[in-house]
Structure 1
Amino acid sequence: MKIVISGFYGLGNTGDEAILEAIIDNLRAELDHPEITVFSLSPEKTAKTHNVKSVYRGWRHDNRKKIKALREADLLISGGGGLLQDTYPTRFLFGPLPYYLLIVFLAKLCGTKVMFFSQGIGPVNTTWGKILMKVFANMADFITVRDQYSKELLHKLGVTKPETVVTADIVFAFKHKVDDACFDSLPLKGDEKLVAVSVRPWFHHEEYYSQLAEALDRLIEEETITPVFVPMEGHHDVRASKQVIEKMKRKDACHLLGPDFTPNQYLHFISRCRMTIGMRLHSLIFSALTGVPHIGISYDKKVESLLKRSGMWEYSFRLGEIDVERLIANAKYVLSHRDQLSEIVQKNAESMRKDAMENIRLLKEKFLVH
């Protein structure tokens, strides 16, 4: 089976690279020698990392190669991740939403089947975005989404022609390998009470940097934690992490991981932490996947949906609604009830792992030629 994968790949986002690795690993485990081509912004690196064919994803060049790959393919996998949204400016042909839908349109022109795979949909608020969704998303042959909110939004947008099934983020089917590279990069003694911290820039929301800094200072003093900042998207998250650290009185007790580790290396580091305080969706998914209790800061419905499914929403906050004293109290509770909460998270994560594998089973059922 020849498969093209289209997504936010080759741009250094840990969550999206974890999605790609999980898709490829599970396709190879479940299909008989699939031929995989990935549309990537760093095609040489993607090809080398995953032993696949790769074509430059943008419109500036290699369009003939994209068309050739789609013509030869049996299936275009669009996803996973939050591709179809207009949070970022969406103009006539620019922005993520028109890009991914035009790839779908191109695939259909080439006679190729299309599956939206484990996607998180929205927000879609612009008139142009809504028109594009109604016209082009209905061209998909089959859709799986990672949460109920995404399914409801698709129907609200008029995307009703293909069947839509709620599964889970494919990263819940990620194959975790032991790799201590992150630990080896830090001056740790081995007996620290590690707390993974994942922050990101989000438009004009900078007030939470000070709130998180205050909470971490208190937790260092009262719970003797060692916060380790995990940058899930390169220099963007390094910069946001440094903003928090600079506002802390106990910055001497913190560490900041480098931005160039693999998804598995970050995941393995998080797996050995006592707790995660995270904003990035996939820092929380990594935590859930490895049974690490977590407090989320939700800037988007996708984060809130995940926290409700993992069982940790009651300890978490929406961005803009953080109460520092309650954050400290919740963190203390999570740390003191770590084992109990870990069991709950593991149970919920196992359910989501089964749902994640449904993405592969349904792909085989709908598109595999017997």
Structure 2
Amino acid sequence: MRLVAPFGFYGSGNIGDEATLLGFGRLIERFGGGIGVDVASSDPAHTKRVEPGFRYYQYIDGIMGLPAKLHAHMGAGYIIPGGTPIMDNLGDWPLLSLGGMLQHAGNWGKPAAFVGVGVEQLRHDISRQRVQEQIIPNVMCWSVRSVHDQDRLLDLGVAPDLITIAADMAWLLDPAEPAYGRKVTQRLGLGGRPVIGVNINAEDHMMEKAPRLFTELAAALDDLVNRHGARVLFLFNEVREGDTYDQAAADLVRSLMSRKDAVLMGPSDYLTPQEMMSIIAQCAMTISTRYHFCVFSALQGVPFLGIRRSDKVSDLCRDLGWKAALDPDAAARADISAMGDQLLGDPSAELKKLSEKIAAMRVRAEDNRIALDALLGAMRGVGMQTWMRHAAGRVGQKLGGGVR
């Protein structure tokens, strides 16, 4: 059987996305060697380097290009693995693209499932309409990262028995070895003093809500440098260029700091998840607005301060029982630096609790198999006869006669 993952957000520059790709690979391994997976990718060469177990093809937004159509028709089912596909804080993307893909699945009799995904609270009526009219009717089952994602799906009208509460598939990754991170930090001259790893972005909706966030963060980082002799290492979990992405956000915060002498910029290369995790392992603490950077920190046993810019970061901190978290519009200098003092002090008790939570998240991540198993079961009834029947029906519709 061949399974198709047609939504090609992998390879777009976000290292966290590839963490879910790796986790998806681990999940597929649990089913033995009888499943082939075709994955749409914005950078097939990079995703092949990250997870060589899949067959990749070039993604162009939507499913209308000939290569994408060929892969789609060759597959017996569609899967949307990982990420946060149900959201609208970036505009029409990704729901506009996903709606077309899932309608394509329905038109051709292909079962489809979302596995290990996040769901954000939708802001616009048109987004709810797309999900309710184009996506939900064409999806047979879902597994989600948290109970809060389930609640948002229920609010959109998904039947409760179609949803499994699991966890992000990145929790299936093992901690990274330290060698790569040591090489990077040695090259940067980091040694002998605590390192604060910082990964932030500057999405418009967050900056509108919290216009002083970067000013407060810069002042707090100055405090931590002065009190702990720390160095600040900006890291980039998203490597695309633009005002809202990580490099631009780091440059802005650095420009607002007094202790620029204590600031270094990490690699701007498109790293693998293991490479980023290895660098994080060299940090005494991290600060991030990004979901998977916080997950990476937890997996490496590094205490983190989560800036809750989105539902998914809030959900993560609640699932982990992690108290070192602030809303962007409430992240004042004093609060950031006070939490930094705690994390740079003796976080051993909190890290012990965190390790127990991580073990539970790993178990939950395995529950993504429930949705995947249901999808694979439905795919066994899809073959050439299914394709011919739907093809004949579509020809009949175009000719205006209808075909039984």
Whether these two folds match at TM > 0.5 is yes
Larger Rg: 2
Shift of 1:208: 1.3
Residue of structure 1 in register with 2:172 after alignment:
173
Aligned-pair CA distance for 1:363: 1.6
> How much is the aligned-residue C-alpha RMSD, in angstroms?
2.2
Q: Does 1:324 align with 2:333?
A: yes
Per-residue CA distance 1:104-134 (angstroms, 9 max, x = gap):
2212323222111111112312221111111
Q: Does 1:301 align with 2:311?
A: yes
Determine if the alignment matches structure 1 residue 144 to structure 2 residue 143: yes
CA distance in 1, matches of 2:266, 2:34: 36
Shift of 1:44: 4.0
Structure 1 residues 63-122: Cα deviation after superposition (integer angstroms, max 9, x where no partner): 2322222222233221311111111222xxxx2112122212212323222111111112
Residue 215 of structure 2 corresponds to: 210
> CA–CA distance in 2 between the matches of 1:216 and 1:210?
10
Tell me whether 41-50 or 18-27 shows the greater mean CA deviation.
41-50
Instruction: Give the Cα separation in 1 of the matches to 2:370 and 2:142.
Output: 13
1:237 deviates by 0.6
The one-character-per-residue Cα deviations of 1:24-51 (angstroms, maximum 9, x if unpaired) are 2331344324311111122344345433
Counterpart check, 1:265 vs 2:264: no
CA distance in 1 between counterparts of 2:62 and 2:34 reads: 31
TM-score normalised by length of structure 2: 0.84
Instruction: Give % identity.
Output: 23
Is the deviation greater in 202-211 or in 239-248?
Answer: 202-211
Runs (4 or more) in structure 1 with deviation over 4 Å come to 59-62
Deviation larger for 118-127 or 67-76: 67-76
Q: What CA distance in whole angstroms lies between the structure 2 residues aligned with 1:138 and 1:320? A: 37
Output the amino acid matched with 1:344. Answer: K
Checking the alignment, whether the CA contact within 8 Å between 2:106 and 2:138 is kept in structure 1 is: yes
Superposition pairs of residues 283-302 of structure 1, within 5 angstroms: 283-302=293-312
1:220 lines up with 2:229 in the alignment: no
Unaligned runs of 5+ in 2: 382-404
Structure 1 unaligned blocks of 5 or more: none
- Provide closer, same or farther for how the CA distance between residues 162 and 139 of structure 1 changes in structure 2, counting only shifts above 3 A: farther
Whether the 8 Å contact between 2:238 and 2:246 is mirrored in structure 1 is yes
Is the Cα–Cα contact under 8 Å of residues 84 and 100 in structure 1 kept in the other structure?
Answer: no
Q: How many residues align?
A: 365
Quickly say closer, same or farther: Cα 1:259–1:361, change in 2 above 3 A: farther
Alignment of 1:3-14 (within 5 A): 3-5=3-5, 6-14=7-15
Aligned to 2:384: none
Cα distance in structure 2, aligned partners of 1:113 and 1:17: 24
- What is the distance in 2 between the residues matched to 1:221 and 1:245? 15
Asked if 2 retains the 8 angstrom alpha-carbon contact of 1:67 and 1:106, the reply is no
- Equivalent residue in structure 2 for 1:356, among 362, 365, 376: 365
Residues of 2 paired with 1:84 and 1:38: CA distance? 19
The letter for the 2-side match of 1:98 is: L
Q: Give the secondary structure class of the aligned counterpart of 2:82.
A: strand
Is the CA contact (8 Å cut-off) linking 1:197 and 1:276 kept in structure 2?
yes
Q: Relative to 1, partners in 2 of residues 1:138 and 1:159: Cα closer, same or farther, differing over 3 Å?
A: farther
TM-score (norm 1): 0.91
* 1:132 is the counterpart of 2:130: yes
Change in Cα spacing, 1:356 to 1:273, as seen in structure 2 (3 Å) is same
